[in-house]
Amino acid sequence: MEGDPDLQFLLQGGDLLKVRSPSWKKTRYFKLQEDCKTVWHESKKTFRRKQTFSLDDIAAVRMGRQSEGLRKYTEEQVEIRCFSIMFKGRRKNLDLIASSEEEAKQWVSSLEKMVSRLKNLSCQQKTEHWILSCLRKADKNKDDKLSPSEVKNFFRLINIDVEDEYAEMLFKKCDKSNSGYLTGEEIQHLYELLTQREEIDVIYGEYARTTGFMNSENIVDFLMKEQREKATLEDARRIIEKYEPDENVKEKKLLSKDGFLMYMQHPEALILNSDHTEVYQDMSQPLNHYFISSSHNTYLMEDQLKGPSSTEAYIRALLKGCRCVELDCWDGSDDEPVIYHGYTLTSKILFKDAIKAIKEYAFKTSDYPVILSLENHCSVEQQKVMAHHMNSILGSALITAPLGQGMPTEFPSPEEAADNTDVTEEDDDEWKKKLKLAKELSDMVIYCKSVHFHGFEDAAQNLSFYEMSSFKEGKAVGLAEESANAFIRHNVDKLSRIYPAGTRTDSSNYDPVPLWNAGCQIVALNFQTNCTDMDVNQGRFLVNGKSGYILKPAYMRDLATDFDPITLTRGDWLKHKTLHVMIISAQQLPKVNKKKSSIVDPLVKVEVFGVPADVAEKETNAIENNGFNPAWNENFQFDVYVPDLALVRFLVEDHDSTSDNEFVGQYTLPFNSLKMGYRHVPLLNKNGDLLPSAGLFVHIMVVDA
Q: Is 296 a catalytic residue?
A: yes
Cβ neighbours around 348 below 10 Å, total: 16
CA–CA separation, 274 and 544 (whole Å): 10
Query: If residue 250 lies in a helix (H) or strand (E), which one and from where to where?
Result: helix 247-251
30 marked among binding-site residues? yes
Asked if 16 and 93 touch (Cβ cutoff 8 Å), the reply is: no
43 marked among binding-site residues? yes
Asked if 626 and 571 touch (Cβ cutoff 8 Å), the reply is: no
Asked if 107 and 63 touch (Cβ cutoff 8 Å), the reply is: no
Cβ neighbours around 431 below 10 Å, total: 13
Q: Is 454 a catalytic residue?
A: no
620 marked among binding-site residues? no
CA–CA separation, 521 and 551 (whole Å): 10
DSSP category for residue 333: G
51 marked among binding-site residues? no
398 marked among binding-site residues? no
420 marked among binding-site residues? no
Asked if 376 and 392 touch (Cβ cutoff 8 Å), the reply is: no
654 marked among binding-site residues? yes
CA-based nearest residue to 543, from 362, 669, 361, 651: 669
327 marked among binding-site residues? no
250 marked among binding-site residues? no
Q: In the Cβ-directed half-sphere of 626, how many Cα atoms lie within 13 Å?
A: 14
Query: If residue 242 lies in a helix (H) or strand (E), which one and from where to where?
Result: helix 233-243
115 marked among binding-site residues? no
Helix (H, G, I), strand (E, B) or coil at 525: strand
Catalytic residue among 276, 289, 296, 490: 296
40 marked among binding-site residues? yes
639 marked among binding-site residues? no
- Cα–Cα distances (Å) from 549 to 19, 321, 326, 538, 541, in that order, read 39, 9, 17, 12, 7
Helix (H, G, I), strand (E, B) or coil at 476: helix
CA-based nearest residue to 356, from 401, 385, 392: 392
562 marked among binding-site residues? no
Cβ neighbours around 81 below 10 Å, total: 22
Q: Is 193 left (phi over 0), alpha (psi -120 to 50) or beta?
A: alpha
CA–CA separation, 73 and 25 (whole Å): 9
State phi, psi for 63 to the nearest 5 degrees.
-75, 145
469 marked among binding-site residues? no
550 marked among binding-site residues? no
20 marked among binding-site residues? yes
42 marked among binding-site residues? yes
34 marked among binding-site residues? yes
240 marked among binding-site residues? no
371 marked among binding-site residues? no
245 marked among binding-site residues? no
* Alpha-helix runs per DSSP H in 32-147: 68-73, 101-119, 123-138
107 marked among binding-site residues? no
41 marked among binding-site residues? yes
Asked if 401 and 352 touch (Cβ cutoff 8 Å), the reply is: no
328 marked among binding-site residues? yes
21 marked among binding-site residues? yes
561 marked among binding-site residues? no
- Cα–Cα distances (Å) from 240 to 176, 215, 266, 289, in that order, read 35, 9, 13, 42
207's CB contacts (< 8 A; 6+ apart) are 214, 218, 219, 221, 222
Asked if 299 and 358 touch (Cβ cutoff 8 Å), the reply is: no
Q: Which residues pair with 497 in a beta bridge?
A: 470, 522
384 marked among binding-site residues? no
470 marked among binding-site residues? yes
Q: Is 660 exposed, middle or buried (0-12, 13-18, 19+ CB in 10 A)?
A: exposed
Catalytic residue among 341, 490, 680, 699: 341
45 marked among binding-site residues? yes
312 marked among binding-site residues? no
Chain-centre distance of CA 573, in angstroms? Answer: 29
4 marked among binding-site residues? no
297 marked among binding-site residues? yes
349's CB contacts (< 8 A; 6+ apart) are 68, 299, 309, 310, 311, 338, 339, 340
Binding residues for substrate: 18-45, 470, 497
Binding positions: 18-45, 297, 326, 328, 375, 470, 497, 599, 601, 625, 654, 656
Q: Which positions make up the binding site for Ca(2+)?
A: 297, 326, 328, 375, 599, 601, 625, 654, 656
Catalytically active residues are 296, 341
